[in-house]
Amino acid sequence: MRTGLLLIGAVSLAACTTTPPPAPQQVASLPAITGDYFQMRSAATGHNYHIHVRLPVDYAKEPDRNYPVVYLLDGDTLFPILGGNHLFLHYDDGLPDAIVVGIAYGGFGPVNKRSIDFNAPDASLTEAQAGAPRFQRFLADELFPQIERRYRSDSARRIIFGQSRGGGFVLWSAFTRPDLFWGHIASNAAFEPGAERYLAMPTARADTHLILSSGTRDRADLRAQALRWAAHWRNRDKPWRWRFVEIEGGTHAANSTDAYRAGMRTIFGWKPD
């Protein structure tokens, strides 16, 4: 009898620990990032994603208008920062308002799969470890159709922003499918594994933007790779509208708003009054 109770208790405990927590909801009391929220389980990656959507402030007032869409990697941290900051770029710099989509994992522990999703294929990695091709398919075949069905988004003006390992994915996507996004912003990108691939001309050409930002106080290895990459491409023909931005005093993660602002200004051709 006691053994049976212990077994039942163990099963009950296991059920409790594997039951997913309630889904977080978009915070309606924060108007700078108010919009929508939904979850997705990707067939391509097998991973779960929390999708946070910030809608433009005049979205409801302009029912015939389509908006650029910014896809933020590492949405767990960058969505509340850059989603809200886009409002200031709209007000202060006169940049177009945009739909901002944060792709999040819902935590920083084992649930977070950035160390797989953002890894480009390389001989040093197994296929399971190099998830970038699968994550790219998730974006193109699963997430884009959802966003473009649900919201008035301009599919010709998709932009992707990534930081660190996410910046590495932005670079990889710009080289493998440069037509998938209109704008690519890579902040303090991780070039490894396979840094040499980013010195070769992509086979596909597209009239898109690629902006790489580098903080002058970034990690020494990433800073050196960014400078090497910028020097390599500076005087060569390129398949993108290219810009290298140095953020004076910028550290590895604390200057995402500066990288985002520089990239968005470049993409939208911002000129001061």
Q: What is the DSSP string of the chain?
A: -HHHHHHHHHHHHHHHHHSPPPPP---TT-GGG-EEEEEEE-TTT--EEEEEEEPPTTTTT-TT--EEEEEESSHHHHIIIIIHHHHHHHHHS-PPP-EEEEEE-S-SSTT--HHHHTPPP-TTS-TTT--HHHHHHIIIIIIHHHHHHHS-EEEEEEEEEEETHHHHHHHHHHHH-TTS-SEEEEES----S-GGGGGSPPSS--SEEEEEEEETTS-HHHHHHHHHHHHHHTTS--SEEEEEEEETT--SSTTHHHHHHHHHHHHTT----
Q: What is the mean pLDDT of residues 78-96?
A: 96
Reported as a single tens digit per residue, the pLDDT across 223-235 is 999 999 999 999 9
Q: Would you say residue 63 has pLDDT above 90? A: yes
Domain positions in the chain are: 33-267
Q: pTM to 2 decimals?
A: 0.89
Q: Would you say residue 273 has pLDDT above 70? A: no
Share of the chain above pLDDT 70, in %: 88
Reported as a single tens digit per residue, the pLDDT across 119-146 is 999 999 999 999 999 999 999 999 999 9
pLDDT-derived band at 15 (thresholds 50, 70, 90) equals very low
Q: What is the pLDDT of residue 206?
A: 72
Q: What is the pLDDT of residue 94?
A: 94
pLDDT-derived band at 75 (thresholds 50, 70, 90) equals very high
Its CATH class, for the domain covering 33-267, is alpha beta
Interstrand relation of 67-72 and 48-54 (parallel, antiparallel or unpaired): unpaired
From the CB of residue 9, how many other CB atoms can be counted at a distance below 10 Å?
A: 10
Question: Are 187 and 163 within 8 A, CB to CB?
Answer: yes
